[in-house]
Structure 1
Amino acid sequence: MSESYEREREANIARNRALLEKLDLADAVNQLGVPPKPKPTPRARAKPIQPAKKVKRERDIVEAPRRQSARLKKEVVDPNETLAQKKKREEEQKKTHREEEQKRLEAEEKARLAKRPRHQELDLSTLVDELEGSELVSLRSSFQAVTNVPLPKRIADADAFVFDEDQKNEAGVADLRKKLQKLRVVSRAKVTQDRIYSAAYHPEPTKDLVFFGDKHGQLGIWDARASADEVADEDGNISADDKEGGKYWRLQCHWPATAKSSISSIKFDPVDAHSLFTTSYDCTIRRLSFVSGISQEIFSSGENLITSIDLPVGGHEMWISDGGGGLTHLDLREPKDKACWYGVSPQKIGSVSINPTSPHFLLTASNSRLLKVWDSRKLQTFVDPTGPQEFSLDTIEDFIESKNGKGTVRAEFAHGKSASSAYWDPRGRGIVSTSYDDTIRLWELDAAKYSSSSNFPSFTPFCRIKHNCQTGKWLTILRAVWSPNPDVFPHFTIGNLTHSLDIFSGKGDLIARLSDNQITATQAVTCSHPSVVERCATGNGSGRCVLWAPPDV
């Protein structure tokens, strides 16, 4: 039976093959009776770094008590109760109802206050309530390691790296390119839980301590080259390429932990770098002391979102830009209610930058497409200490048009679209700006003209670099940020939508375009070490951060 069945099956195959050959279906003939080919193996993608497994401590969540139906709370009444018993029962019910209502109102108020910004002083144990005791000790030791020696902010001379000969400029660029093209990814970690908004590199030359601010008010502190604890994957294996590098700590400096508390700017104290200023969309500025471990609110703007701050080398004052088109001058030696607000733009000011060598010059970039250089001495001439501390846009514009206000705006340039940022270089004579018109612009000013009271004779960029800045809704705005190192040829870093880190010289030359197969997201936020040339740090939209350094570091 089986032999006859097999002969019949082979005969059917032969007939089918002959029929297919008549129909010129050669491919089908070749595949007849041949098992299907296996599917190609999908292309391997870069595996994301594996966050360290940390055991979170239980957090006290304040919840208001839920209302309960009166029907469910209804008691069984004794049908034989007397009038006195009924009266007593009703009085007890009213008393119980009043007590429950009082408790409910108190719990609701407590829950409401828990969601509001915190204005009180906060210690490290409050800021890092998810860390174990040993991690808190390691954070305090890291703070202590960078507070042993004062590290004041350094600036370059106004005439530094100013060459009349092109050969010297080319030599400076070539030397910079030789150093920075060697940079590679040497450490990666998920430093914050949400999108990176801002970053700052601590000036300690022996460490790579980088601070990142995220979308939900969290400050990530990353010691990028510290010895990290090894974390095994699901199979128990440890891969050097996949594990996190260094150690990091997360501090909830601004509250509540929502998008209303995004950390928009981070600055170190320029006097000694022993404390850190953070600005937030919760309209507050806080100072975190590395010595005491206390976070203190130093300013609150009411309802204006704070976009950026800057401090001169002296460190006793601060200029603040906000979403309402205003600049605020804050003297850190006086009470915060003495701060003066100036309306200088009809739309949001994205950044404010203080000239490091001539600190009375302020640089602003706004959504009104204008980049302006202000003389702060002129703005402060009409401040009446006994009068109001706020000056509207109309008041400022009238003053600028008046005889006494001449020279308040020393220079102005209109971009094609909103100007997202503009910064002075460490010499105080170079400017770089970014705009939504997809162009990076560079200026080189003559510092000898700063002493005059008139407008700068010429204020047009000498270089324009095409750069895609269409970050959209889910990426942090790209900003070109100068390296604060005053010892090298001026250069700046900016993220690229092709997932690379771009480094340009102050003359507009592309120094390096750093990329890596492990990097699969846009490095939107960048910063550089103030003392070590071959150090850059970047952060992306998921809180993952990268340290770029020579591979043999």
Structure 2
Amino acid sequence: MVSKLEKQRLENIQRNKELLRSLSLDKISYEIKKDVEEKKAETKAKRQKRKTDTAPKEPIRKSRRLQGIKIEDTEDYQTAMRAKELQQIEEEKLEKLRTMKLPGNVSLIDILKEQNKDNEIKGEDNDDEKLLSEFSRLSDNFSVGDFYEVISKKPTDDKSINKLRKEFKSIDLYEKFLPNQISLTEDRLAIINFHPSNTEKIIVGGDILGNLGIWNPNSDTDENPAITSFNLHGKHISKIAFSTKKLNNLYTASYDNSIRCTDLKTLKSTEVLGLLDDNGNDIGISDIQLSTPNTSSYENLLFFTTLTGQFGSFDIRSKPRTTSISLYRLSDKKIGGFSINPNANYQLSTGSLDRTLKIWDLRKVNANSNWSEKFPSDACIHAYGGFSSRLSVSSTDWNSSGDIVCNGYADAINIFKLGDTTQWNSDFLYKPKKKSKEIIPMTLKPDHVMKHNCRTGKWVSILKARWQMNPKDGYEKFVIGNMQKFFDVYTANGIQVAHLGGKSITAVPAVANFHPTENWLVGGTASGKCVLFS
């Protein structure tokens, strides 16, 4: 039995519990306890961290040298170097623009400034940037002839230049038919030429399949051009030449090994040479030229070069020849073109795939080609010397004033003003040392160099600069095709006097030629079409 006192104590305990529950003191007590425990844990973590921090540590930052990093490998250095290289390239391009001279000693940078002015490009702060942008657009595939409109506006004191420019401005493109309607040959024209007549503009062209086309514009009907075509050779026709005595006798050379003579009146064609090597294999003919009637000992001779680098000649009055012709080794590779000096038929120049222009003397024959690596035992003629090009030389042409023009894949036209070479001795350009092999010195330097895009590629015939043979107006000048579908005409001093073209010329007139005496121009395209200015 619970005493009264014990009963009172139990009631007091129950009352206090209810009071505590109503005040939520147990929850507060739990939270206080939790907070105390968290503070203890935090204090313990700080003590452990202080212990860890007191342990020795490596420096936070180390030099690149201590880390084994080369300065050249860092991104900052490489970025700086790239910026420096770009700046250097731009400076080199600007310097190239400043030093690149056009005919008349005008720099390309001046011409580009003139063009920018014409196009109303203003602002001096970014002039260099705009010029470089224009130069980059041009890249290397341009010719000085592309700037003729700007160049011709510049005043000149040379009355002959002004006269020539005015004259060429007055000649017109043939109007009766558009160039793409005048199909001179079936395939790509490789060579084109005028008949020497100065009354009729008779044009003859040969293509890469051996087809010959003859066009007489004076006989054109309203419906069709007066063109006669026939297959004359089995391969590429490389050259067309007219006899100086019988003007209707047309000589053609071909890669098929033959040289033929065709009478334009009767259209009868005969073979005058079929060239074979010692094993009976065909030797392709790359170029031919008839001697000029100024040296009796070389009169009636037809000179030729081959695809294998040889040179020969024969009398056109003789019967057809095959292997009984003396050949001289002038190159280890293809001779693309050659030219006989009009004032001295014993001198000739050759342009070759071996990247040289060389000048030779027929009067002195050497038993061995000491300079040749592949054919040292072949007979050779004396070499005065030559010119070394960066790339192959496509053509060389000699005029009556003693100037040679040559061009090739190095994208340049070179003019050598040699003057009276009849006074040259055999050792004019050099003297070989005693007891040494005769090595041909590349000592010739061009007097004038013009930038010209000669990158014709696979489908366009090679560009070749050609002098006007006997200009009636007395001015020495040559023509060359322009990749922008124009003809460019230059004087012997490298001054441009014409840039002929038009919207109706839809293809490059790559093979181009002057009439021997008149200022008429003709060109042929990759599709066998003919372009005539007269």
1:342 maps to: 328
Q: Do the aligned residues in 1 keep the contact of 2:309 with 2:333 (CA within 8 Å)?
A: yes
2:61 maps to: none
- The alpha-carbon deviation at position 451 of structure 1 amounts to 4.4
Which amino acid counterpart does residue 216 of structure 1 have in structure 2? L
2:463 is the alignment partner of 1:478 = yes
1:213 maps to: 206
1:266 maps to: 240
2:451 is the alignment partner of 1:466 = yes
Structure 2: 5+ residue stretches without partners: 1-154, 277-281, 294-298, 369-373, 431-442
Q: CA RMSD in A?
A: 2.3
- The alpha-carbon deviation at position 168 of structure 1 amounts to 12
After TM superposition, list the pairs within 5 Å mapping 1:198-237 onto structure 2.
Answer: 198-230=191-223
Which amino acid counterpart does residue 495 of structure 1 have in structure 2? G
Structure 1 ranges of 4+ moved more than 3 A = none
* Counterparts in 2 of 1:531 and 1:325: CA distance versus 1, 3 Å: same
Structure 1: 5+ residue stretches without partners: 1-166, 231-243, 256-260, 384-391, 401-407
Task: Write out per-residue CA displacement over residues 245-267 of structure 1, whole angstroms, 9 at most, x where no aligned residue.
Answer: x4111021113xxxxx1111100
TM-score normalised according to structure 2 size = 0.61
* Counterparts in 2 of 1:353 and 1:169: CA distance versus 1, 3 Å: farther
1:389 maps to: none
In 2, the alpha carbon distance for the partners of 1:523 and 1:461 equals 26
- The alpha-carbon deviation at position 292 of structure 1 amounts to 4.1
Task: Write out per-residue CA displacement over residues 221-241 of structure 1, whole angstroms, 9 at most, x where no aligned residue.
Answer: 0112333232xxxxxxxxxxx
1:186 maps to: 174
* Counterparts in 2 of 1:279 and 1:486: CA distance versus 1, 3 Å: same
Q: Do the aligned residues in 2 keep the contact of 1:183 with 1:514 (CA within 8 Å)?
A: no
Match of residue 390, structure 2, among 402, 416, 425: 416
Which amino acid counterpart does residue 523 of structure 2 have in structure 1? T
After TM superposition, list the pairs within 5 Å mapping 1:57-206 onto structure 2.
Answer: 170-187=158-175, 188=179, 189-206=182-199
Match of residue 516, structure 1, among 478, 489, 502: 502
TM-score normalised according to structure 1 size = 0.59
2:380 is the alignment partner of 1:395 = no
291-300 or 331-340, which deviates more? 331-340
1:376 maps to: 362
2:268 is the alignment partner of 1:299 = no
* Counterparts in 2 of 1:191 and 1:413: CA distance versus 1, 3 Å: same
In 2, the alpha carbon distance for the partners of 1:505 and 1:295 equals 37
- The alpha-carbon deviation at position 396 of structure 1 amounts to 5.0
* Counterparts in 2 of 1:286 and 1:216: CA distance versus 1, 3 Å: same
Task: Write out per-residue CA displacement over residues 304-328 of structure 1, whole angstroms, 9 at most, x where no aligned residue.
Answer: 2211111111351111111111112
Which amino acid counterpart does residue 505 of structure 2 have in structure 1? I
After TM superposition, list the pairs within 5 Å mapping 1:499-538 onto structure 2.
Answer: 499-533=485-519, 535-538=520-523
Task: Write out per-residue CA displacement over residues 343-368 of structure 1, whole angstroms, 9 at most, x where no aligned residue.
Answer: 22111100121111111001100011
2:480 maps to: 494
1:434 maps to: 407
SS in 2 for 1:172: helix
Task: Write out per-residue CA displacement over residues 368-396 of structure 1, whole angstroms, 9 at most, x where no aligned residue.
Answer: 111011001113x769xxxxxxxx94135
Match of residue 327, structure 1, among 300, 307, 311: 311
SS in 2 for 1:298: strand
In 1, the alpha carbon distance for the partners of 2:292 and 2:524 equals 27
In 2, the alpha carbon distance for the partners of 1:449 and 1:291 equals 38
- The alpha-carbon deviation at position 173 of structure 1 amounts to 2.5
473-482 or 270-279, which deviates more? 270-279
Which amino acid counterpart does residue 286 of structure 2 have in structure 1? T
In 1, the alpha carbon distance for the partners of 2:487 and 2:265 equals 34
* Counterparts in 2 of 1:319 and 1:449: CA distance versus 1, 3 Å: closer
Q: Do the aligned residues in 1 keep the contact of 2:468 with 2:517 (CA within 8 Å)?
A: no
SS in 1 for 2:164: helix
Q: Do the aligned residues in 1 keep the contact of 2:156 with 2:162 (CA within 8 Å)?
A: no
After TM superposition, list the pairs within 5 Å mapping 1:10-89 onto structure 2.
Answer: none
Task: Write out per-residue CA displacement over residues 45-98 of structure 1, whole angstroms, 9 at most, x where no aligned residue.
Answer: xxxxxxxxxxxxxxxxxxxxxxxxxxxxxxxxxxxxxxxxxxxxxxxxxxxxxx
Task: Write out per-residue CA displacement over residues 147-188 of structure 1, whole angstroms, 9 at most, x where no aligned residue.
Answer: xxxxxxxxxxxxxxxxxxxx9992333222221122221143
In 2, the alpha carbon distance for the partners of 1:449 and 1:354 equals 13
In 1, the alpha carbon distance for the partners of 2:325 and 2:339 equals 18
What percent identity do the matched residue pairs reach? 31
